[in-house]
Structure 1
Amino acid sequence: MLSASTVPTPALTLDVPGARLHYEVRGQGPLVALVGAPMDAASFAPLADLLADEYTVLTADPRGINRSRLDDPEQDSTPALRADDLSRLIAHLDAGPAAVLGSSGGAVTALALAQSRPDQVHTVIAHEPPLIELLDDREHNHALTDDLIATYLGGDVLGAWGKFMAQANIVLPEGALEMIFGGERDAQQVADERRFFAHELYGTTHWRPDLDALRSVATRIVVGIGEESAGQLCDRTSRTLAAELGVEPTMFPGDHTGFAEDPERFAGPLRAVLAER
């Protein structure tokens, strides 16, 4: 059972330009933000619970996802917008500078924050950012992304997810795609999925980091890769980023979603990275 210090504060919101953000805070100590896109606060809750004995842990729903409502539901989500939201949350808590673990699109958000507000973040752990713009075959991959977005918006949900997994080089067990994305589904899950395909995926995968800026900021940049992600698209993008920044990748348990699939195993290496400050 969670102690009082690790129970998340309920139903916190912060008004930001164009949106009202849902966020949660656990624990006490130095500030650590766990950031996803499109993953919401619930995706990081088990990991946040584990860290709350030593850290103040911030989790949030990205703008337009789940409980973070937009003034304009058709607004596109960009790394710059999400980084500004995270900046405002850190300033609101008045507990920075923070360490930020961002995974997938959240890793892109964290890198964008390091570029725009390095004073607010002392460490960025960019876990498998889909930085397609850094790849030599970026145009081919952008075309694949355009096609799978069009497939989804055309109404073929399973077809779109099949193309997504193929591009990512993620192999699911036979029948898993239908089990996860077929049949009756939760309405909020469907709404968040549609937002991801219609308003988030393009902007995230077309974002190009300012490598010179990331090399020059005082913020420590750690590039994280799942031990089971070898050969996947985000393994390639992460290794390319690490090479460009002149750092060795840090390996974490699991694959692209290792932080959610086995948070207890993930927490150990994460604590080690946080302790290196």
Structure 2
Amino acid sequence: MSDHDHDICGEGPVLLVLPGGAGHPMGLGPLTRRLAERFTVVTYDPLGLAHGRLGRPVPDQRVEAWSDGAREVLDAVLPDGESAYVLGTSSGAVAALDLLARHPRHPRRLRHVVAHEPPCVAVLPDGARQRAAFREVYDTYRAAGPAAAAARLTAVLEERAPDALPDGRPLSPTEELTNPLALFLAHVLVPFTSYVPHLPTPPSPTPRLTVAAGETSRGGLLHRTAEFLARRTGSGFAELPGGHLGALEHPVAFADRLMELFEAPAPL
């Protein structure tokens, strides 16, 4: 991991932010600036896409590689004896769950993890069908490009049949490497939606976990997934403003609600 794989702003307790998509932190500035009023916000960029690596070859991604990198970042920035808050959203939330699951059993280093709409749909009772649906999104991307795949992905998340897909064409290798959405569709979507978190259930002495979903995601696949994960692990469940992209579309309200979750006393 390079020192350029993360950005730091603000002062206060450490808050590690794991972005979604291909891990590119684009658009998260308003959220992190609000959070930086109370936290030292450390934004992890697992592929270095915002730090000079956009355009370089990208292999298929592994959840464990993202969480190992996140742990390295924490080791680099977290003072001895202190603990960190963690926010992961979308694919970053999957990495946050893996970080929590594979972290040594010593909860003082992770104080509270919020996983916002992790798309690890393989945990669901109908997980095989949902994984197949995401594979169809990948196949659509390879056949018709990112716009058609994004339209199919929206239908999958809303658990409905897709509308007529827009016309498109496959991207060239060069085009793909310079397009963060394309990198997500090509190398992140399938492995991350196939991931099953191996989280201990209470009363195991683990750090606090809240699985969150967007208020406007009710009735959708990832809201259902978040609720299922919270029940399965005995974790907290919370709703945050907006939908799957709430951190981008409602950054101040999202940050304020997140801070409320972090500051709330742990349940007895």
Please point out which of 56, 60, 67 is paired with 2:44: 60
Task: Call closer, same or farther: CA 1:46–1:31 in 2, change over 3 Å.
Answer: same
**Counterpart position of 1:200:** 188
In the alignment, does 2:219 pair up with 1:261? no
**Counterpart position of 2:94:** 108
* Contact 1:21 1:62 (C-alpha < 8 Å) held by counterparts: no
Deviation string, structure 1 residues 25-77 (Cα, Å, up to 9, x no partner): 0111100012113242233221110121211001122226343639x824221
Task: Call closer, same or farther: CA 1:193–1:143 in 2, change over 3 Å.
Answer: same
Please point out which of 223, 245, 256 is paired with 1:235: 223
For 1:264 and 1:90, how far apart are their aligned partners in 2?
Answer: 25
Could you tell me which runs of 5 or more consecutive residues in structure 2 were left unpaired when the two chains were aligned.
167-174
For 2:200 and 2:125, how far apart are their aligned partners in 1?
Answer: 19
- Aligned letter for 2:89? S
Cα displacement (A) at 1:218: 2.3
% identical aligned pairs: 29
Cα displacement (A) at 1:232: 1.1
| Mapping for residues 35-114 of structure 1, pairs under 5 Å | 35-38=18-21, 39-63=23-47, 65-67=49-51, 69=53, 73-95=57-79, 96-114=82-100
Could you tell me which runs of 5 or more consecutive residues in structure 1 were left unpaired when the two chains were aligned.
1-13, 179-186
For 1:101 and 1:238, how far apart are their aligned partners in 2?
Answer: 14
Please point out which of 215, 233, 245 is paired with 1:245: 233
CA RMSD of aligned residues (A): 2.7
Q: TM-score, normalised by structure 2?
A: 0.83
Cα displacement (A) at 1:130: 0.8
**Counterpart position of 2:172:** none
RCO higher in structure (CA 8 A, sep ≥6): 2
Deviation string, structure 1 residues 135-166 (Cα, Å, up to 9, x no partner): 11111111111122112112333321121111
* Contact 2:146 2:185 (C-alpha < 8 Å) held by counterparts: no
Deviation string, structure 1 residues 176-211 (Cα, Å, up to 9, x no partner): x97xxxxxxxx6895212221121111100110113
Cα displacement (A) at 1:267: 1.8
For 1:90 and 1:242, how far apart are their aligned partners in 2?
Answer: 25
Please point out which of 215, 218, 242 is paired with 2:206: 218
- Residue 188 of structure 2 aligns to a residue in which SS? helix
**Counterpart position of 2:122:** 133
* Contact 1:37 1:103 (C-alpha < 8 Å) held by counterparts: yes
